[in-house]
Amino acid sequence: MAAIGHVGVVGAGLAGLAAALAAAAAGLRVDVFEAVPVPFAPQAHIDVVPNLLRDLAALGVGEACVRRGFPYHGLAVLDGDGRLLHEIATPRLSGAPFPACLGMVYGDLLGLLRDAAVAHGARLHVGCAVTDVAAGEAIVTADGQRHGVDLALVASGSRLPALASLPARPMALDELQQQWCHALLPRPPMLERTLWLLGTGSTKAMVVPVDARRAGIAVLQPLGASSTAAAMRATLAGQGRLLQSLGALWKDGTQALVRPVRSGLLEGPWHEQGVLRIGHSAHVLPPHFGQAAAQAVEDAVVLGDLLRLQLSRDELLQAFMARRGERARQVHAVATQAARWDLRPEAATDLPALAAQLAQLVAGPA
Ligand SMILES: Cc1cc2nc3c(=O)[nH]c(=O)nc-3n(C[C@H](O)[C@H](O)[C@H](O)COP(=O)(O)OP(=O)(O)OC[C@H]3O[C@@H](n4cnc5c(N)ncnc54)[C@H](O)[C@@H]3O)c2cc1C
């Protein structure tokens, strides 16, 4: 079989845009189909952890992320009053000019990936829902058009859309009965790096500087809890001085975005015929340790490497699973364990040890 020349991507979220950039930069023809007319550009933070920054640098957008975001080194776990509980190391994995990590606005990261993919020749079709992926040989859109491709990448997120000829192989999704409520707040001047703030019970918040003026906050809540500004202030009020002062920055009218936490991993290979699932379509990780995003982008980097080798489609799909399958399974287990501890901290809860285990797993590229 001839090498792959044309890739079709279903979904312009993080996984789809990163994969489109990787494939276009490898010299392939790329078409991306996104169901919604205005792509999602969340005004909330993303924590670009060391292995995610390494992979964004490999895709050629690392410097742009550094310019747009707030670089930092090392993260601290504090109690609600601001007392240091643990330091968590953040190794510098991206080479000398880069910081270890950075915070940035999620919508800005999606915009950088989209612009870079388009600059490499990828074509983005918005408001164009895909209804079939025809054995990886064509992408069929809701308007009935058929676009011939050599490989179809399904990057449509955790809920697999009905794709006529793709055998339904649903992923068992574990709803973890928790949600993160995100917002952008003014950056407190003392905030120079990401903080994990542990209140009482299972109240937990994460604050991430995203630029000189702003910081992202994400507060862990029971699934379905209210996310109004008043509710968030009330949640943080009794949790110690630092959490209370962050709550006070949460003004009426602050836009909040709520994300339920789920966990799931597609059993067996992530490909069928000529269709490969990537990102949350194949592995839904809780965002702990930044690995939901990092694993989605790692799919793209590995794909880009393999597409450059001009393998046949079957060879590429096998090589992809060899590099991604077991590694994603191990990282998935660590992130899911951290999410379960958030729900019910156990006597053996040891976040620094779990962070160290994760750091070892992702220290080298996939
Ligand atoms: C605000 C926010 C902050 C986050 N912060 C972090 C963080 O700090 N760390 C971390 O690890 N993770 C974070 N995450 C989670 C991380 O971004 C996820 O890993 C990521 O969203 C998964 O990307 P995806 O592209 O697989 O799926 P999605 O982002 O869900 O994208 C799927 C896309 O496919 C489109 N689509 C669906 N069906 C079709 C169809 N039939 N045809 C065409 N298009 C279709 C959808 O419209 C959507 O645009 C964050 C997510 C959000 C939203």
Would you say the CB of residue 69 lies under 6 angstroms from ligand 1? no
Map residue 263 onto helix, strand or coil: strand
Residues 14/158, Cβ–Cβ less than 8 Å: no
Alpha-carbon gap, residue 209 to 190, rounded angstroms: 10
Map residue 225 onto helix, strand or coil: coil
| Ligand 1 centroid distance, CA of 313 (Å) | 26
> Is residue 222 classed exposed, middle or buried when 0-12, 13-18 and 19+ CB atoms within 10 A define those classes?
exposed
Residues 279/293, Cβ–Cβ less than 8 Å: no
What would the two tokens of residue 254 be? 């602050």
For ligand 1, mutation pick of 156, 179, 181, 276 (most atoms within 8 Å of CB):
156
- pLDDT exceeds cutoff 70 at 68: yes
- pLDDT exceeds cutoff 70 at 341: yes
Q: What is the pLDDT of residue 169?
A: 72
Q: Mean of the per-residue pLDDT values for the chain?
A: 93
Q: What is the pLDDT of residue 167?
A: 63
Strand order in the sheet with 130-132: 130-132, 138-141, 146-148
Lowest mean per-residue pLDDT among 164-178, 230-244, 312-326? 164-178
Q: Taking residues 106-135, report their average pLDDT.
A: 96
Give, using CA atoms, the residue closest to atom 7 of ligand 1. Answer: 46
Would you say the CB of residue 286 lies under 6 angstroms from ligand 1? no
Count of residues in the chain: 366
Q: What is the pLDDT of residue 288?
A: 86
Alpha carbon dihedral 179, 93, 113, 287, in 10-degree steps, equals -10
Would you say the CB of residue 9 lies under 6 angstroms from ligand 1? no
Q: What is the pLDDT of residue 202?
A: 74
| Ligand 1 centroid distance, CA of 279 (Å) | 8
Give, using CA atoms, the residue closest to atom 35 of ligand 1. Answer: 11
Residues 15/299, Cβ–Cβ less than 8 Å: yes
Tell me the pTM.
0.96
Q: What is the pLDDT of residue 175?
A: 80
Q: What band does 164 get if pLDDT is binned at 50, 70 and 90?
A: low
Q: What band does 347 get if pLDDT is binned at 50, 70 and 90?
A: low
Q: What is the pLDDT of residue 168?
A: 65
Q: What band does 171 get if pLDDT is binned at 50, 70 and 90?
A: confident
Per-residue pLDDT of 179-235, as tens digits, reads 999 999 999 999 999 999 998 877 899 999 999 999 999 999 999 999 999 999 999
| Ligand 1 centroid distance, CA of 111 (Å) | 13
Q: Could you write out the DSSP letters of every residue in 8-46?
A: EEE--SHHHHHHHHHHHHTT-EEEEEESSSS----SSEE
Instruction: Say which residue the tokens 């800005």 belong to.
Output: 108
| Ligand 1 centroid distance, CA of 237 (Å) | 31
Name, in order, each residue with C-beta under 8 angstroms of 80's C-beta and a sequence gap of 6 or more: 197, 198, 199, 200, 203, 239, 240, 241, 242, 243, 244
Residue bearing the bigger pLDDT, 362 or 40: 362
Task: State the CATH class of domain 6-71+104-169+263-347.
Answer: alpha beta
| Ligand 1 centroid distance, CA of 294 (Å) | 12
**Region class of 121: left (phi > 0), else alpha (psi between -120 and 50), else beta:** left
Residues 311/26, Cβ–Cβ less than 8 Å: no
Map residue 68 onto helix, strand or coil: helix
For ligand 1, mutation pick of 106, 128, 133 (most atoms within 8 Å of CB):
106
For ligand 1, mutation pick of 9, 31, 32, 34 (most atoms within 8 Å of CB):
34
Q: What is the pLDDT of residue 141?
A: 95
Q: What band does 60 get if pLDDT is binned at 50, 70 and 90?
A: very high
Lowest mean per-residue pLDDT among 176-190, 248-262, 301-315, 345-359? 345-359
Map residue 205 onto helix, strand or coil: strand
Would you say the CB of residue 157 lies under 6 angstroms from ligand 1? yes
| Ligand 1 centroid distance, CA of 245 (Å) | 31
- pLDDT exceeds cutoff 90 at 346: no
